[in-house]
Amino acid sequence: MNTLNAGDSIITYNQSESSLTFEGSMRLANMKEYDVVSQFLKTSSESSTDTLILDLQPLQFLNSSGITTLSLFILNCKKKGNPKITVLGNESISWQQKSIANFKKLWNEVEIKI
């Protein structure tokens, strides 16, 4: 398992389950600071063959730069056509109720489970 500490949050990539789990509160200051997250997502997706699970359930907070980073990642996967994305959300966290559904607008093949 690979992990990345991004401020007050941790991203864990589990290759055997092909999942990326986001925990804590992602509040890096700007897009430049999110470069390291983008790179981690890219590397993880390259070793995922079929479907990649983005588990956002333990993610309490995600700022605007963070949602932009995730959205650009999904658009990039869409462009390449793989891996397919499944997003796991938590309906008790208010930002997830609205924002996660928008990932499907970005790429129709994204599966949302909330």
Partner 1 sequence: MAQYGNNPETPNSEWSREKEDLLGEVHDLKILYETVAEHSSTIENELEQKNQEISSLIQQLKKYLSPQLYNLIVGKTGNASLNYNRKFLTIFFSDIVGFTEISDRTDPEVLSELLNGYLNEMAQIAIKYGGTIDKFIGDALMIFFGDPEYTSDQKHAQDCCQMGLEMQSKIEKIDQQWIRRGIPQGLKVRMGIHSGYCTVGNFGSENRMDYTIIGGNVNIASRLESLAGPKSIFISSVTKNLLSQDFISHFNQTFQVKGIHYPIEVFELLGYKKVKHPGTNPYLLINRHGFVFEKIIFDNASSNPEKLKQIEKALKSLLSHIEKYNSV
> Which residues are near partner 1 by CB under 8 A?
61-64, 67-68, 71-72, 75, 78, 94-95, 97-99, 102-103, 105-106
Q: Are 55 and 91 in contact (CB under 8 A)?
A: no
Provide the total of helices (H) and of strands (E) in the chain, helices listed first: 4, 7
Query: Which residue, 61 or 109, is less far from partner 1 as judged by CB?
Result: 61
Q: What are the angstrom distances between the C-alpha of 20 and each of 14, 54, 57? A: 6, 5, 11
3-state secondary structure of 113: strand
Query: Which residue, 14 or 71, is less far from partner 1 as judged by CB?
Result: 71
Q: Shortest approach of partner 1 to residue 40 CB, angstroms?
A: 20
Query: Which residue, 53 or 70, is less far from partner 1 as judged by CB?
Result: 70
Q: Shortest approach of partner 1 to residue 48 CB, angstroms?
A: 21
